[in-house]
Structure 1
Amino acid sequence: MDNAVEAALRVAVMDWIRERAGANGGFLHRHELLSFRIGGRELPLIDFSRGIRNPQGFSSTLSIVASASGPYDDTESDDGLLHYAYRKGDPFGGDNRKLRTAMETGMPLILFRKEAPNYYTPVMPVYVVDDYPEESSFIIALDESFRFMGDVRELAEPQREYARRLAKQRLHQPAFRTRVLLAYETRCAICSLRHGSLLDAAHIVPDTEERGLPTTPNGLALCKIHHAAYDQNMLGVSPDYRVSINREVLEEIDGPMLKHGIQEMHGRMLEVPVRVADRPDRELLAWRWERFSTTA
């Protein structure tokens, strides 16, 4: 396949992924990825059994899957870059050859993070920027600029900080969103809205705080209006999972959105995940509730 044709096909694939994942709430199901078609042609976007997708006719790898529990121990390092282990077999042939071609040509890849069985968070585009034969791994970056920074092992601190910031924005936050929305069955914990495109993963303790980790017990699946109200302390959630609305907001007179969308939520019980391990941490809720209470 001509490189220009392949590049254009990748753009079309990524456009579809953005649209579909956006409608879902930020993630895709395995079936959607395996049954993808374009131009009347079947083009699975992940492999049926491996963590790498090298379609026939493509000069470079199309997608890779990263999973902390996978057999290849693909790990993100402290520098915000992904160390993606060589695939089984000849280190300079097979699947590894197409990854190396992607590094040489700068062809963009799709990274799928497997957050839960059958569910994937797309992160794209990503780029193969270096090859570490001594540790049998490729280095994957979230920005094409790292292709032109020389040896990524010798990055200056501002470049490392940029990589870490990118990882937080493009890797950690989308992964957090997927885990939280799946835990809540793609439903607002307050009003039960089920449109994934209108839902967010809200931090209980903000990620600017030391305890504000991107873990499911520190998250709530909220529709966008309730997320905004929560962030502005118009709405709070007590450690016993009860929703409370700020007194001034309760007394305010406005249109139907305020009345039905916010004021009528006062006193409702939060809808929590079925799995106990995914439910909101009561200590974290107490931390946030204390701050809400001073404004309520």
Structure 2
Amino acid sequence: MALLDELAAREAAMRWLDERTQLGTQTVTQPDVANFPFNGQTVALLLRQQGICKPRQLDAALSIRTTWTPPGGKPPYEDVEGPDGLVRYAYRGTDPDFPDNRALRRAFEHQLPLVWFVAVAQGVYLAQYPVYVVGDEPENLRVALALGNQQRWLGVPGPDEVDRRRTVERLTKLRLHQPVFRAQVLGAYERSCAMCRLKHVELLDAAHIIPDGKERGTPIVPNGLSLCSIHHRAFDANVLGVRPDYKIAVRRDILEEIDGPMLKHGLQAMDGVSLTLPKQRAQHPDRERVKERYEEFLAVG
């Protein structure tokens, strides 16, 4: 295909993904998005085994994939955030001239957008797009990725460009870490509120137990709770707390207040209710983090 066709195919793939992922907010499996239709053809989008997907009809890579690594496991390829805030994506193997790596390099040379499928559980992916290769580092067997156009135009910050690096880091957090954290937490809690069992995904958030920015406020499932919007805000405001035994506590003044049905049924009735926890023990809220946050709740109440 000509370069124009390369761009048209990518635009078609991303429009097709918009419908299947609700604009990139919902997870997918490999069979869901293995191929998409374009100009009367079936074009590969996510391969079953390979991390870099270059369809036979295209000259450059169309998508990349990061596989799922269980907690404590070692990933086959290390995709890490560099000191400049940009994510590094590893080549396939150790030969920079391997065909998949050349296809990735061609996407860089022509500044073609890609789709990045980030695993949030075994066989479950969150699609990030558009993603651009903005730097090639063959000596380290990897490329630098920009997550979206805004980060792309910022380029690769130099070591002395503190403000630009901070902007890149903020965009990486916004575009990658927060959506992946939400998908992982909601998946662990089977897409329901841990407090009230509400199952409307569009009304669910991933709440940090230890707030983001604090020493142990990392975006990992044991530091997260799947909460509906009301209970998330109540938890953040210390209206509700979670005891170390995973039972909900309601602040004393809220228990004594008289108001409408939302206060009575949505907040006061939560006092003493046990959280609904993930099936996997490794995904349960970290008790030390819960204890630390509960002490903060008690200090407010």
Question: Same fold per TM (> 0.5)?
Answer: yes
Q: Which residue of 2 aligns with 1:63?
A: 63
Q: Which residue of 2 aligns with 1:170?
A: 175
Provide, for residues 163-207 of structure 1, a one-character-per-residue CA deviation record: whole Å limited to 9, x for no partner. Answer: 222222222222222221222122211111222222111000101
Q: 3-state DSSP class of the match of 1:168?
A: helix
Q: CA deviation at 1:220?
A: 0.5
Task: Supply the distance in 2 between the matched residues of 1:160 and 1:96 (Cα, whole angstroms).
Answer: 27
- Report percent identity of matched pairs: 45
Query: Which one is further off, 70-79 or 262-271?
Result: 70-79
Q: CA deviation at 1:144?
A: 3.8
Q: Which residue of 1 aligns with 2:189?
A: 184
The verdict on how the C-alpha distance between 1:24 and 1:130 changes in structure 2, with shifts beyond 3 A counting, is: closer
Task: Supply the distance in 1 between the matched residues of 2:84 and 2:173 (Cα, whole angstroms).
Answer: 11
Q: Which residue of 1 aligns with 2:254?
A: 249
Q: Which residue of 1 aligns with 2:13?
A: 13
Q: CA deviation at 1:36?
A: 4.8
Instruction: Give the TM-score, by structure 2 length.
Output: 0.85
Give the letter aligned to residue 283 of structure 1: E
Q: Which residue of 2 aligns with 1:96?
A: 101
Q: Which consecutive unaligned segments of at least 5 residues does structure 2 have?
A: none
Task: Supply the distance in 1 between the matched residues of 2:24 and 2:154 (Cα, whole angstroms).
Answer: 36
TM alignment of 1:137-286, pairs within 5 A:
137-144=142-149, 156-286=161-291
Query: Which residue among 127, 134, 138 is the counterpart of 1:133?
Result: 138
Task: Supply the distance in 2 between the matched residues of 1:41 and 1:249 (Cα, whole angstroms).
Answer: 61
- Contact 1:129–1:146 (CA under 8 A) maintained in structure 2: no
Q: 3-state DSSP class of the match of 2:210?
A: coil
Q: 3-state DSSP class of the match of 1:294?
A: helix
Provide, for residues 214-271 of structure 1, a one-character-per-residue CA deviation record: whole Å limited to 9, x for no partner. Answer: 1211111111221111112221111111112233333444443333333322221001
Q: CA deviation at 1:89?
A: 8.3
Q: Which residue of 1 aligns with 2:114?
A: 109
Query: Which one is further off, 273-282 or 66-75?
Result: 66-75
Q: Which consecutive unaligned segments of at least 5 residues does structure 1 have?
A: none
Kindly indicate whether residue 46 of structure 2 is the aligned counterpart of residue 46 of structure 1.
yes
Query: Which residue among 275, 278, 299 is the counterpart of 1:294?
Result: 299
Task: Supply the distance in 1 between the matched residues of 2:114 and 2:273 (Cα, whole angstroms).
Answer: 45
Q: 3-state DSSP class of the match of 1:107?
A: coil
Q: 3-state DSSP class of the match of 1:166?
A: helix
- Contact 2:132–2:145 (CA under 8 A) maintained in structure 1: yes
Give the letter aligned to residue 64 of structure 1: I
Q: 3-state DSSP class of the match of 1:171?
A: helix
Count residues in correspondence: 296
- Contact 1:25–1:186 (CA under 8 A) maintained in structure 2: no
Q: CA deviation at 1:63?
A: 1.1
Task: Supply the distance in 2 between the matched residues of 1:158 and 1:250 (Cα, whole angstroms).
Answer: 46
- Contact 1:273–1:279 (CA under 8 A) maintained in structure 2: yes
Task: Supply the distance in 1 between the matched residues of 2:140 and 2:24 (Cα, whole angstroms).
Answer: 37
Instruction: Give the TM-score, by structure 1 length.
Output: 0.87
Give the letter aligned to residue 51 of structure 2: G
- Contact 1:36–1:44 (CA under 8 A) maintained in structure 2: yes
